Structure 1
């Protein structure tokens, strides 16, 4: 096991090594073109290429230096590792709040996601990012265990203006919470009465709060006390497919919203 670890250390000690291996795995490069791209000196490149040749990772062809089959293998593995570590760094501060068992996709699909977290100057940043997406969207599908005042008001305003088609599945507990607040209850009833909105109620819990605004998926991340810690936003096809599938499943399990059921 020592040899593979040593090779990882060999690459990790130099950004130039990683970059040169990536470049020659993509296409042949002369030493001059490598120098222009990496900014490394000719002496540095000479040592790197010699070390790679000793490991049979590169060979010299008439068109320049090119990766061998094993060099390409290592380059691909390094690229995968870098992508995984970039994603881990992106999620590091929120992973403790993610309901991992509910996420039916590989976390690597979040590599290009945007993470919004509260800050002292923008404490509502996670929610505001979702609201911004709602205000731009033509279609919105959502499933959630809660519906906050700002989201409800935005959905109502956009649907009433004719700019949004809205379908949502809410847990029974979410509806009950809205029914306890007269102003929110009135807005929910108004929303349900609009032709551009459909609301269904799932009696069982909904463990996630997810919106799909056109093609963008937003996942709201809360802690055990229900405090919003972050929101994740992605256009990744695999995440969108998961969100669409989960929405359809909840939609089929749910019943149409009837205000009279919750009014005492």
Structure 2
């Protein structure tokens, strides 16, 4: 019998035990505080603290309970395991479409990443997250072939009515879409701003990426080119890859100038993209 597995099962096979050990890891607690945090009955809390005490994880301190050094070790180990499994679940659907070897990162390096999922109930989750980043970022870079109206509006507010600096490499489809947008004036104001450098890349963009205040972002697409999520992390290797991808595309792109904006966008695109 693997007694270590028994302890893991004991902690995991309950909605209350993980809460109790997490609370105690933060400091000594009374039974009333544990009952309030878990919503469990006093009898249930009594059985949990008794089991913790029998395992050597807990000591009684008058009317309060505290973890032993062993208990603190167990709490920290379980918290790490729980966190890693939560990341694994979050990344499960995205990882088949993430070029881990090309990026040079392991799954372990993504354990602190922020992961956004597009779902059937929230298909625009990625756009919503990008809009949030647009509002709070001071510096931003974006390589994309998708720049919908909500993002135009968000960038406009952050750049023209804010202080954000913005460098972007857009596929022609972004400009073509903007010309038919109700936010065409705002888009042109973004391009004309002295806090922006906007480039046109005439080709396919394999991996849409962004950098917001030193955090690298990768929009993940499935095999039918649908955005299914986004990964954000300040991991050095990940950020370096995102930056390299952006700068590689930028090197082959054409910078739009203020003089370009004097002509209709469709004429500019015809000249830039041939």
Contact kept? 2:115, 2:229, Cα under 8 Å: no
2: distance between equivalents of 1:130 and 1:26? 34
- 1:228 alignment partner in structure 2: 227
TM score, norm. by length of structure 2: 0.67
Q: Which residue of 2 aligns with 1:208?
A: 207
Alignment of 1:181-192 (within 5 A): 183=179, 192=191
Deviations 1:229-256 (A, max 9, x none): 2345x6x6x35x6676456545655437
Number of matched pairs = 251
Distance 2:57 2:158 in 1: 59
Q: Distance in 1 between matches of 2:81 and 2:51?
A: 21
How do 1:1-264 and structure 2 match up within 5 A?
A: 2-62=2-62, 64-101=64-101, 102=103, 104=105, 106-110=109-113, 113=114, 115-119=116-120, 123-131=123-131, 133-134=133-134, 136=135, 139-148=138-147, 150=149, 153-154=152-153, 157-158=156-157, 161=160, 163=162, 164-169=164-169, 174=171, 183=179, 192-200=191-199, 207-213=206-212, 219-232=218-231, 238=234, 245-246=240-241, 248-250=243-245, 253=248, 254-255=250-251, 257-258=254-255, 262-264=272-274
Q: 2-side partners of 1:209 and 1:197: how far apart?
A: 19
Distance 1:117 1:180, change over 3 A: closer
What TM-score, normalized by structure 1, do the two folds share? 0.69
Helix, strand or coil at the partner of 1:144:
strand
- Answer yes or no: is the 8 Å Cα contact 1:222–1:230 preserved in 2: yes
Q: Which stretches in structure 1 are left out of the alignment for 5+ residues?
A: none
Q: Contact 2:218/2:230 (CA < 8 Å) preserved in 1?
A: yes
Distance 1:182 1:39 in 2: 52
C-alpha contact (below 8 Å) 1:208/1:220 kept by paired residues: yes
Distance 1:150 1:42, change over 3 A: closer
Secondary structure in 2 matching 1:119:
coil
Distance 1:203 1:69, change over 3 A: farther
Q: Which runs of 5+ in 2 are unaligned?
A: 257-267
Change (3 A) 1:35 1:140: closer
- Residues 159, 166 of structure 2: 8 Å contact kept: no
Q: CA deviation at 1:147?
A: 4.1
How far apart are 1:75 and its partner, in Å? 0.8
Q: Deviations over 1:144-171 (max 9, x none)?
A: 252445478547855884545321245x
Q: State the superposition RMSD in angstroms.
A: 4.3
Query: Structure 1, residues 157-210: CA drift from partner, whole Å, max 9, x if none?
Result: 55884545321245xxx35x56888948x9988865542221357899865323
